[in-house]
Amino acid sequence: MCGIAGYIHADPSKPVDPETLMAMAAIQHHRGPNGMGLQTIADRGVGFSHARLSIIDLNEARGRQPFLSADKRLLMAHNGEFYDYKRLRADLTSRGARFRTKSDSELVLHLYRRYGLDEMLTHLRGEFAFALFDSARDRLILVRDRFGIKPLYWCQADGMLAFGSEIKGLFAHPEVPRRFSDAGLYHQLMQTMVPGTTAFEGIHQVQPGHVMVIERGHGRFHIRAFKYWDMDFPLIRERKDDQPEEYYIEGVRERLLKGVQLRLEADVPVACYLSGGIDSCSILGLAAASQQSPVKAFTIGFDDTNYDETAVAREMARSVGADQDIMMLNAGHLYANFVETIWHTERSIYNTLGVAKLLMSRRVNKAGYKVVVTGEGSDELFAGYPAFRRDMFLHGLDPLDEAERAVWEQMLSESNALVRGSMLAENELHDPALDALVGFTPSCLQPWLASSEHVPGLLNPERRKRLQGYEPGRTIAEALDGSMIEDRHPLDKAQYVWIKTMLEGQILTWGGDRVDMANSMESRPAFLDHHLAEFATQLPPSMRIKGRTEKYVLREAMRELLPKVLYEREKFAFMAPPAHTDPEKWKAVQNLSAKYLSDEAIHDAGLLDAQGVKALFDRLEDPDTAIPTKVQMDAVINHLLSVQILHHHFIHPDVPALARHRAAELKCMSAERTIVT
């Protein structure tokens, strides 16, 4: 994994500044500490830069990016991993391609030349984001992987279009504006982002499974975006759910095993993340069975027994002979590193699990590992979250009588008491726009839509005025592809909405890439192999949720690998303890608030309303406030801290100057540069 950056002028005669390019890469040095490089093309007004984390082809000189094709037609910078690259490289070589490196990244140049853009994408397997400039067609192409595992941002400013793996890479360009958008701030405070957006004015994301093509003409950019892949559940009338259970169980087992084995491929040692859940335990079990030496397994533990899963993780590690490393954390660890975490996430976080994972990736790095295989994506494919079970019994089963419905409601409430207010709403909520699009308001969005009721009172009065009448649910609904929702089973709809909002906007950002790459550590989510995902869309709903059992098909596929206690255990939401649950944690929040949520800090930033913030704290500290409401407010306070810290990091300081200083510190300016004519 690496960090990429670059920009292109609408006027090709306008030169690209190499110092700016290197600053854009240098501020992302944490993503790629093993080498820096840049390429500009004279008289074409385009340049790329790259910070490299070497995992495949460790030769620094040979693997340095950006890559330029032998005929100087194609320029490419890539972040991520392509799997099955050895077979593809051999096939292309047999057809006349000549590779100059052993890097998987070089595949793009040869696949594009042979197959063209559309067909090339069908050959790519893995997690990736890359930029490709085609001189012959005078076009820049930006591509992001199917689920959005790897980030890719872009913006236009003053006849220039910039892109990068992180927003701070864009902010390193002196012409890129740095300010919050009103709607972006609103969504930061309610957790759920609108697909394709960020907190900042004019800063966009390439959406998962999408391509952006930027062409030039008459001093202007002509931009088109298209989708090359989606989580395409079958229409209800086309569902064929008549296969025996064993067909689906074997299909999941076979594809997951392949996904894990591909992600063990590297020129450096590969470890696993291990919690006490079925997902990471399945990954560890398959990894241990696939290699000769013991697997290194890294586990996070918490001092609060209600949230700690280390006992089950230890049992799993013992059962497969893994070399386990457990890192125990408390509130002091988490909030002491909150500010640094926000620098890397570039968005608000509702729970300090993101901080815990940043600390874990640091530990992994210090232990000498650059790569871990992880369990993210399993809940999305196999309906593991409590919100999915709720939608299933409310909307996906034949009509239930009131007594049976009450039993289901009580069961969900009791078994998910810790996450009521965050992963499950305290009360059922209906958003008109989402009801119209989906047929119901997905339970996964309900807690955040409920928390949005607090947002207007927390906003700076001027922003509140501009956002009067704003409907966050409608904006989210309008960003979703209705053709992927219409005429699907209710469980399919619920999973699709989660994948397009919470998976990409939360789990794969502040719970994944951003906090892992903060410490130059690559995470590989094997469940998000698109071959497995495509098979998962064909699973009957009853193979995902069978009675009260979530992820039924995965449990059966992994039954012989898992300890009995884990096989029989209900889904446990892996998250850090909320701050309000412990005086020490709450004291840590108050210490941060004294700096970032003081009246003076709020006035200087111009984002929030000091009286509204005080009222929220008062209500949270009121002993009569219900526990689920406190859980919800705890999350909102983390968002309040986050947006103030984001302002501190990115709006107030001179980020371009900071980036150039960082480049000078790293002596990046002496890195190899090539001006191609």
Catalytic residue list: 2
Q: Which residues are CB-neighbours of 611 under 8 A, at least 6 positions away?
A: none
Q: Give the containing element (helix H, strand E) for 143.
A: strand 139-144
Structure tokens at 127: 């997690």
**DSSP result, 42-55:** TTTTEEEEEEE--S
* End-to-end CA separation in angstroms for the chain: 29
Structure tokens at 40: 């500009």
Q: Where are the beta strands (DSSP E) in 10-110?
A: 36-41, 46-52, 67-68, 74-82
Q: Which residues are CB-neighbours of 16 under 8 A, at least 6 positions away?
A: 7, 8, 9, 40, 45, 46, 47
Amino acid (1-letter code) at residue 375 = G
Alpha carbon dihedral 605, 606, 607, 611, in 10-degree steps, equals 110
User: What is the sign, positive or negative, of the torsion defined by CA atoms of 172, 176, 177, 178?
Assistant: negative
Q: Which residues are CB-neighbours of 132 under 8 A, at least 6 positions away?
A: 74, 75, 76, 108, 112, 140, 141, 143
**DSSP result, 222-258:** EEEEEE-----PPPGGG----S-HHHHHHHHHHHHHH
- The pair phi, psi for residue 27, each rounded to 5°, is -70, -10
Q: In 467-529, where does DSSP find H-type helix?
A: 472-479, 490-498, 514-517
Q: Which residues are CB-neighbours of 254 under 8 A, at least 6 positions away?
A: none
**DSSP result, 516-547:** HHTTT-EEEEGGG-HHHHHHHTTS-HHHHEET
Alpha-carbon span 633 to 629, nearest angstrom: 6
**Of 114, 62, 59, nearest to 91 (Cα)?**
114
Query: What number of residues does the chain have?
Result: 677
User: What is the sign, positive or negative, of the torsion defined by CA atoms of 265, 266, 270, 274?
Assistant: negative
The per-residue b/e assignment along 614-628, b for 16 or more CB within 10 angstroms, e otherwise, is eebbeebeeeeeeeb
CB 170 within 8 A of CB 155: yes
